[in-house]
Structure 1
Amino acid sequence: MRPNRETGSKWRASAELSARATILVALAASTLLTSAAAGWASQPDPLRLCADPTNLPFSSDSPSQPGFYVEIGQALSQQIGRPVTYDWYKSYFGKRTVRVTLLGRQCDAMIGLPLSADFMGPAVIFSKKILTEAYVLVSRPTLTLSGIDDLRGKRVAVQYQTTPQNLLAERDDIEKVTVLTPEEGMAALAQDKADVAFVWGPVAGWLNKTAYEGRFRVQPVEGAGLSWDAAIGFARTSTQLRDQIDAALPQLERRIAELAAKYGLPSDPPVRFGAAPSPIRLAALGSPAQFLRQPAAATPVTRIADTSASDPKAEVVAAGKEIFNGTCAHCHGPDAVQAERRIDLRRLQTRYGEDMRDKYWTTVHEGRPSKGMPAWKEVFTDDQFESIYTFLQTVQSSETAN
């Protein structure tokens, strides 16, 4: 049946209305999309900062206790009008941390690098100084210390493999109590096993504020290898961001001082010391010292010196020992001597038996991130892993596993 004229008119009117509605919907959608795009375009890029998730007093991924550097980053982000995000990465990798995160473009800046052209320059450039960090003398408030001679006749808990240890090495009139961490130095002082602790300052100040409730005097020390200025590091191509940060820092001086006090960073006038015989280079980002742990008791162990000079494995063992002490000792102890059973590598044989080798290879290649053990497969070759394993075989304990 053919449609009459009236029906055709109604159909055309309906089609026109539908077309107009479609156009209006399209225009509305276009307007919304344009507005959203404009809104998105107006959002500033985040300021991406590198930080260690477990490195108080400097940084932590805990919102309730973020750390000195993290809170500086938050203040900077507000000052320059950019939201802040964090790329969490362990700082005990030292310069490798900087290469992977900052120079690998995972973040824009890293707070707390030593302000020195010798530190990875010219690949890394720096902001103005944000503060000075130093070793400290920790003592009871009644003890007055104004120089190294005031340590004569005293028991000094001195941190292993640091410039302070070098400085005191030639002083026979000072009784040295070697400790491997600031925590141990402070404990020796609290337990009356030492009169003074000569340890890394920021950690000592934090411990004095939190664990010891301000019981001790914490005096910074200045001198060659004993203190350095800290700054914010950037990749060398980030000069515009560096200049923007430099312009913002003067407005944050009061806030930075408040945060330093909040986290117990030492602020007393420094004690001047002379140069150490052979200053030790910076070993980590958080401190110029390798933070090792002091073994509580000796366990029967076969030492490297017991191996025969004609042993064909001697060179492999020596190479493995060198790599281990340069990379692994900050957690597992120098020469693998460690009192904490969970990370005592002298117990690998008793713990894993015939599976010792397989367990070792899996762990060093893949790591155990939940336990704080990083993966090393991209750092060392299999030959280097083999030399470390050969070394560890020589230090296995004879004790039985629990």
Structure 2
Amino acid sequence: MPASARHIVLILGSVLLASLSGPGAAQTSDLVSHTAFRVCADPANFPMSDDREQGYENKLANLIAGELDLPVQYTWYPMATGFIRNTLGANQCDVVMGYAEGHELVLNTNHYMTSAYTIIAPKGSPLADVDTLSDPALKDVNIGIIAGSPPATHMARNGLLTKARAYQLVVDTRHESPAVQLLEDLQAGETGAAILWGPLAGPLVKASYPDLQVTPLTKETLPPRLYFRITMGVRQGEKVWERKLNSLIRRNQDRINELLTEAGVPLLNDQGTEVLNVSN
């Protein structure tokens, strides 16, 4: 989540690897800062977040901070092993802007977007209209995919893994970017198609790869699901803070949608079955 939600793939990877601080850590609303909107974020995870504050999660943080009439204050940490433990769990910040719904390391707010994994192919190519991984047109295609991400199971089910090109799941984003490398290889013709988490794929393609087409995978009905609801993550037990953020999300949902759409994020309905807008 995905989500994460950084690219949901990296979010999910960090969720599996991270852990909160020990049982002696107080988890009450008294820990939340009243002088700054304190955000935990990856410093090199564009288009989601970066230390130049140009990602759409940075812009979302600015929106929420403006509603709270507080400045944004960042704690930067790579979205990898120990992310939650060393940021939110260590009381270095009070919120993670993008986090997949349903994971126990954090308390999830209400979701502010639903998105899905996508298939990416060159515009005008025979694969441009493919919208399901069972399409026979994919049988002899080298497909780029982040290793261990949910679509890999669907690819295996459809016999697509033998020619797949795998990219690392969890990396230090300050030094590596599997998502960018995946798109570079597709652009260069080294692969024929690619599968990537939509909130990464849409903005990256919109910004730098105008010859590629992003199609959300909304028709996959077998598990694992390929859509995820993305929330803000807060510390477990911070119910007052969660409710405050829920209220801000609800009141500002239209502005949030506009921000995400402008970035190029493919937005889906809550069931992940219908694309609300796609900006390539």
2:72 and 2:157 map into 1 onto residues whose CA distance is 48
Q: Does 1:79 align with 2:67?
A: yes
Please tell me whether residue 144 in structure 1 is matched to residue 144 in structure 2.
no
Match of 1:206 in 2: 203
Equivalents in 2 of 1:58, 1:109: separation in Å? 15
Tell me if structure 2 keeps the 8 A contact 1:219–1:268: no
Q: Are 1:153 and 1:175, in contact at CA under 8 Å, matched by a contact in 2? A: no
Give the aligned partner of residue 4 of structure 1.
Answer: none
- Retained in 2: the 8 A contact 1:147–1:271? no
* TM-superposed deviation, 1:225: 4.2
The aligned counterpart of 2:58 is: 70
C-alpha spacing 1:158/1:126, structure 2 compared with 1 (3 Å): closer
**Deviation per residue, 1:35-56 (Å, 9 max, x gap):** xxxxxxxxx5212111111111
In the alignment, which of 29, 45, 52 is matched to residue 55 of structure 1?
Answer: 45
Residue 128 (str. 1) matches residue 110 (str. 2): yes
Aligned match of 1:221: 217
Gaps of 5+ in 2: 1-33, 168-177, 275-280
* Cα distance, 1:173–1:78 mapped onto 2, change above 3 Å: closer
- How do 1:168-179 and structure 2 match up within 5 A? 168-172=155-159, 176-179=163-166
Q: Which has the higher contact order (CA 8 A, sep 6+)?
A: 2
Which residue does 1:255 correspond to in 2?
255
Residues 292-307 of structure 1: pairs in structure 2 closer than 5 A: none
Alignment partners' CA distance in 1, 2:78 and 2:252 = 27
Does residue 97 (structure 1) correspond to residue 83 (structure 2)? The answer is yes
**Superposition deviation, residue 148 in structure 1:** 2.2
Rounded to whole Å, the distance in 2 between the matches of 1:174 and 1:237 is 42
- Whole-Å Cα distance in 2 between the matches of residues 103 and 176 of structure 1? 41
CA distance in 1, matches of 2:159, 2:224: 21
Compared CA separation, residues 103 and 141, structure 1 to 2 (3 A): same
- 1:71–1:153 CA distance, 2 compared to 1 (3 A): same
Partner Cα distance (1:145, 1:271) in 2: 16
Paired position in structure 2 for 1:26: none
CA shift digits 1:13-57 (9 cap, x unpaired):
xxxxxxxxxxxxxxxxxxxxxxxxxxxxxxx52121111111111
Query: 1:199 is paired with a residue of what secondary structure?
Result: strand
2:80 aligned counterpart, secondary structure:
helix
Name the counterpart of 2:190: 193
How do residues 27-38 of structure 1 correspond to structure 2 at under 5 angstroms?
none
Q: Secondary structure at the match of 1:228?
A: strand
1:283 aligns with none
Q: Secondary structure at the match of 1:70?
A: helix
**Structure 1 residues 170 and 127: CA distance shift in structure 2, 3 A:** closer
Q: Classify the secondary structure of the residue corresponding to 1:246.
A: helix
Amino acid at match of 1:71: K
Aligned partners of 1:173, 1:227: CA distance in 2, in Å? 20
User: 1:243 Cα deviation (Å)?
Assistant: 0.9
Structure number with bigger Rg: 1
- Judged with a 3 Å threshold, the aligned counterparts in structure 2 of structure 1 residues 152 and 236 are, in CA distance, closer, same or farther, namely closer
Q: How far is the alpha carbon of 1:230 from its aligned partner?
A: 1.1
Change (3 A) 1:212 1:268: farther
Cα offset, 1:137, TM superposition: 0.3
1:183-238 alpha-carbon deviations (Å, 9 max, x no partner): 2332332223333211232222232112213x222112246242211111111232
Could you say which residue in structure 2 is the equivalent of 1:231?
A: 231
| Alpha-carbon distance in 1 for matches of 2:228, 2:194 | 20
- Structure 2 residue aligned with 1:112: 98
TM-score (norm 2): 0.70
C-alpha change, 1:236 and 1:119, in structure 2 (3 Å) is closer
Given the alignment of the two structures, is residue 158 of structure 1 paired with residue 154 of structure 2, yes or no? Answer: no
Task: Find the counterpart in structure 1 of residue 277 from structure 2.
Answer: none
In 2, Cα distance between the equivalents of 1:158 and 1:171? 14
The 2-side partners of 1:138 and 1:164 are apart by: 13
Cα distance change on mapping 1:242 and 1:268 into 2, 3 Å? closer
Alpha-carbon distance in structure 2 between the residues aligned to 1:271 and 1:184? 29
Query: Structure 1's 146 and 206: CA in aligned 2 closer, same or farther, altered over 3 A?
Result: closer
Deviation at 1:271, TM superposition (A): 7.1
CA shift, 1:72, in A, is: 0.9
Alignment CA distance shift 1:206-1:105 (3 Å): same
- Report if aligned partners of 1:139, 1:195 keep a CA contact under 8 Å in 2: yes
SS in 2 for 1:148: coil
List runs of 5+ in structure 1 lacking aligned partners: 1-43, 273-402
Q: Which amino acid aligns with 1:59?
A: S
Deviation, structure 1 residue 173: 6.8
User: Equivalent pairs: percent with the same residue?
Assistant: 23
Is the CA contact 2:39–2:96 (under 8 Å) kept in the aligned structure 1?
A: yes
Q: 1:252 to 1:138 in 2, by over 3 A?
A: same
